[in-house]
A and B are shown apart, each in its own frame.
Chain A
């Protein structure tokens, strides 16, 4: 089977100094956790996979997603969903319009509206479609960001310290919400974090930065 997110001999360096080296296959429904203190360039790996690596970094190796080599595909054609620590909802769009941005085009307007309403219901935010995202609580925003990303039907999920902005109780709740949905959709997940609890909850392989395995 070719399904999953495969990182083949990925090596990223900056100014000739090697930063990261990863070779790993993430099968559908599995989670790979990349750990390490902040500022070591964990997010750089995610930028390489989304196709938004900043100038100054050089990367070798390949990214395969469900049997396609996406290493050189433009960011918007990769079908890789990403969640950041901040919710990053589009501040100029309503909650519903944020979700509509993620929803694949096609189908009728009423059908799209129905799917948005269902998505909001699913995370306990029914009736929030017309709200200004800035008026939502941190946990509500995180849930909208998650559903927006899932509505775009990604083939893989990247998490960039997605729970560190939330307080302890909320963190557990949102974390299981994200992992449950990723598993239900059989998505390969790559998570970058410096929180051991996150790694534990992910219950998958853990890659300590520098290449040592635990």
Chain B
């Protein structure tokens, strides 16, 4: 066999994913212990940690990081489990699934702005009920968005993580033989929801555990959502780390690096705590199963689950709607439900700026996503040709860059690049995006790629096609739809990246996301509406194309219509 695809590509992939993470952690470790030659400071010393612990906001910032992370993860998982347990296979479920899947690609920042515009004192919800129900003639002086408990921020994370966890769960259901298990349980007198929880959930959870951990790590260390919806004084730890890192005084980076290490420790601790929770719930669950209850409350619980799931989808959709209204709004006084007039003026004003940012976003996203796609196909094809198999432990390597909090290694990567004198800018930003884009592209393409019937390859080879011929002439064309979907996933992930662009770009690379988040403090709702919509569009359009292109190319090929 010719070795046109040497295991070089898998090695490159690992390097692209883990190299920056390792370098970044190293670059965090040194300054955290007082070693930063670029600023003329050499260690080791514990001063950065002393400064960190002397910061009065620290306990609150730490608490916020933990509480938003744990609550957002637990609640979104609960919603997804209840909805799937109570409704999978029904029509309502398909409707909800169809509503939620496009929401997966809505950038976090856009969803967060949408939520803010809904629930703020002067937001849409308050307008709809004012002054009729509330009697408010002016927006009330309430701290709803950016509340000091981080509730708005937790809600913003939940509505974005529900679609993610639901799709992950659906993918896992395929391998769990769920339908027959529930049928058997129902024949034994169990309600649908209880039957599902007792027979299917243990298997499904085993499959979705890594992505659940990713959600936890992400929710604990997210920056853009926290800037938009989270409290300010003090902010969650992740936001404070970014503030320290952006301080013109280089010495503040030491404190930032110490904070980044603390963030890493918090995430590791929370993951351990979550693991412990799994053990306890598993033990309680076994007792619950042994007790044999058939689930008399099932219908009620299932309805609550569906209502929560529907509400979470509705919040994102209405949020996008209100972003759209603001982007076209002329004068819009409180408490009017709609603006006095609709106008193109906002788009004329902010359009040119968004186009520049769109260009930058498109370049970064296309290079990052197509690189990730090539590496992924190389890995999967190498796996097929050399009969390699990714072990369960190997799969965790894919999740590693998503489990290590961004705020723990990106600051270090930035510091390290400054130390090396490497120029910040577009190239390094693309490399940093690749770290996050690669795992998602890989996870998106791996299942369809591996599910391809290998006998087709045997046939093609028997007809005289070499390994490359089989790949290019048969396998890739047949997999056109999942390949384009994986590419769209990669583009959406890149479009939504905030922290890597901000830190590694050194503030000189402006994408739609960095521009939109930068508007958060200004509070110009018309500008936010325009940028938020453009950002959502940049993530959604590739998905639409990924559906349309295969449908057009294969319009006369029924065998590929559902493939």
Interface, chain A (partner B; CB < 8 A): 47, 50-52, 54-55, 74-76, 78-82, 84, 86, 88-92, 94, 101-102, 104, 132-135, 148-149, 152, 154
Contact = CB atoms under 8 A, between A and B. Distances in A.
The residue among B458, B465, B480, B557 with the most chain A CB atoms within 10 A of its own CB is B458
A76 B461 contact: yes
A91 B557 contact: yes
Contacts of B477: 92
B466 interface: yes
A75 B467 CA distance: 9
The residue among B454, B455, B467, B477 with the most chain A CB atoms within 10 A of its own CB is B455
Interface residues of B, number: 33
Contacts of B456: 88, 90
A154 B462 contact: yes
Interface string B452-477: 01111111111111110110011001
B308 to A, nearest CB: 41
B559 A101 contact: no
Given A91-B478, A91-B563, A132 B557 contact: yes
Contacts of A75: 458, 461-462
A55 B480 CA distance: 28
The dominant DSSP class at the A interface is loop
10 contacts: A76-B465, A76-B467, A90-B460, A90-B474, A91-B559, A92-B557, A101-B460, A102-B464, A132-B556, A149-B459
A105 B456 CA distance: 20
A90 B464 CA distance: 14
Contacts, number: 88
A63 B563 CA distance: 37
B180 interface: no
Nearest to B554: A92
A84 B557 CA distance: 21
Contacts of B473: 101
Given A75-B458, A90-B456, A91-B563, A101 B558 contact: no
B310 to A, nearest CB: 37
Nearest to B560: A91
Interface of B: 1-2, 387, 389, 453-467, 469-470, 473-474, 477-478, 480, 554, 556-560, 563
Given A74-B461, A92-B480, 19 more contacts: A52-B454, A54-B387, A75-B458, A76-B462, A76-B467, A76-B470, A81-B463, A82-B458, A92-B474, A92-B477, A92-B557, A92-B559, A132-B556, A132-B559, A134-B557, A134-B559, A149-B462, A152-B463, A152-B464
Contact of B462 (A54, A81, A89): A81
Contacts of B459: 82, 84, 88, 149
Nearest to A46: B458
Contacts of A94: 556
Contact of B387 (A50, A55, A154): A55
8 closest Cβ pairs, A-B complex: A91-B559, A134-B558, A75-B461, A134-B559, A55-B387, A76-B461, A152-B463, A92-B477
B461 A52 contact: yes
Contacts of B464: 76, 79, 102, 104, 152
Given A75-B458, A88-B456, A90-B478, A102 B463 contact: yes
A111 to B, nearest CB: 18
A134 B560 CA distance: 9
B369 to A, nearest CB: 23
Contacts of B563: 91
A101 B465 contact: yes
